[in-house]
Amino acid sequence: MMEILKLQQKIVPEMVELLEKRYKILRTIYYHQPIGRRVLANTLNLGERIVRTEICFLKEQNLIDISAPGMCITEEGEELVDKLKDFLHELKGLSELEVNLRKALHLRDVIVVPGDLDWDSTIMSELGRAAAAYLKSLIKDNYIIALTGGSTIKEVIDNTQNLPGHKNVLVVPARGGMGKNVELQANTLAARLASKIGGSYKLLHVPDNLSLEALSTMRHEDEISDVIESINNADILLYGIGRADEMGKRRGLNEALLKDLLEKGAVGEAFGHYFDSIGNIIYSSPTIGIKNEDIKRIHTKIAVAGGSSKAEAILSTSLDNNNNILITDEGAAKKINALLSDMKKLD
């Protein structure tokens, strides 16, 4: 059946394009319901006339309901979205892409969700759902889970279902950092995850970018040293990946330092470390929390990041890491695959 559909994709590609378009419309309604037609059109960057036609079709198929507040997906529509996600995954060859990246990057596992976060904001929720399901399958009694902050990790926590029943699970922030957006801070996310899985948590109230002298003094505080010990003994590390240029600005690096890092080839950032294109760490932000030498000892690391614009950053932080699981999207995965092909040609 799948072979027939792949042949059809080559001969009549517009049929598959129509299927994917309707899937995107349903998925967007699901994540933003209730949603109006104009907002839906703007979100998907489609003309209102096209959206109107598709909405009429989906309504006739009993996949959506339309009311004064906006459109909502029906139970039947929700079931179809889940089935279509797996169907498109196979149809677009993403399973094969996952295997290729896992082997090429020497990772434990790779999960690729359809779409590109750079062009479709609902992919963030898809990444969150995929990562939350993977994390759920790994948690065991007496585990310590360390996590970083950021919008992507928040999405993972948002999509984590309540999971009581595990004993003595501890959640800790992987590093210090206190910014204006408290919802995205590792401390907040650690407490929320602990609540959902019936575990306990410890907090690390230490801002980023302190002087080395201040950091050295704080490390010896009993409360802080206790959290650091838990971080170093983590069984699972959950973290996001950012572009070096964007994260440098977000983390408040001064312009001269950021310019120097970019000139030295920094392309990716993860847990305060800045990586060049071949995976070398060229700078580490002064902070209290997880260090690169500690990361190597953690048995399971789950990296979550998407968007084709992040491909080089993801690649820089994911090379040769047998304990790493990468959860990304189609746009980033295909771009990473292309970058790997270019690297082979240069060898």
Indicate if the pLDDT at residue 333 is higher than 90. yes
Greater confidence (238 vs 212) lies with 238
| Mean pLDDT of the region 56-65 | 94
Tens digit of each residue's pLDDT (9 = 90 or more) over 121-144 = 889 999 999 999 999 999 999 999
What's this model's pTM, rounded to 2 decimal places?
A: 0.87
Confidence tier at 212 by pLDDT (50, 70, 90):
low
| Mean pLDDT of the region 154-159 | 95
**Which long-range contacts link 255-258 to residues 24+ away (Cβ below 8 Å)?**
257/283
Greater confidence (192 vs 292) lies with 192
Mean pLDDT of the chain: 87
What's the pLDDT score for residue 112? 96
Burial class (CB in 10 A: 0-12, 13-18, 19+), 196: middle
Cα–Cα distance measured from residue 216 to residue 197, given in angstroms and rounded to the nearest whole number: 34
Show the beta-strand stretches assigned E in 114-191: 144-147, 170-173
Q: Domains in the chain, start-ordered, CATH in brackets?
A: 2-90 (1.10.10.10), 93-346 (3.40.50.1360)
Pick the closest to residue 21 from 37, 1, 5, 45 (CA basis): 45
Cα–Cα distance measured from residue 289 to residue 225, given in angstroms and rounded to the nearest whole number: 10
Confidence tier at 204 by pLDDT (50, 70, 90):
confident
What's the pLDDT score for residue 93? 84
What's the pLDDT score for residue 145? 96
Confidence tier at 232 by pLDDT (50, 70, 90):
confident
Indicate if the pLDDT at residue 179 is higher than 60. no
Confidence tier at 12 by pLDDT (50, 70, 90):
low
Indicate if the pLDDT at residue 108 is higher than 90. yes
What's the pLDDT score for residue 290? 77
CA distances from 146 to 189, 234, 250 (A): 10, 6, 22
Query: Taking a C-beta distance cutoff of 8 angstroms, is the pair 65, 74 a contact?
Result: yes
Instruction: Give residue 105's identity as a one-letter amino acid code.
Output: L
C-alpha gyration radius of the chain: 22
| Mean pLDDT of the region 36-55 | 90
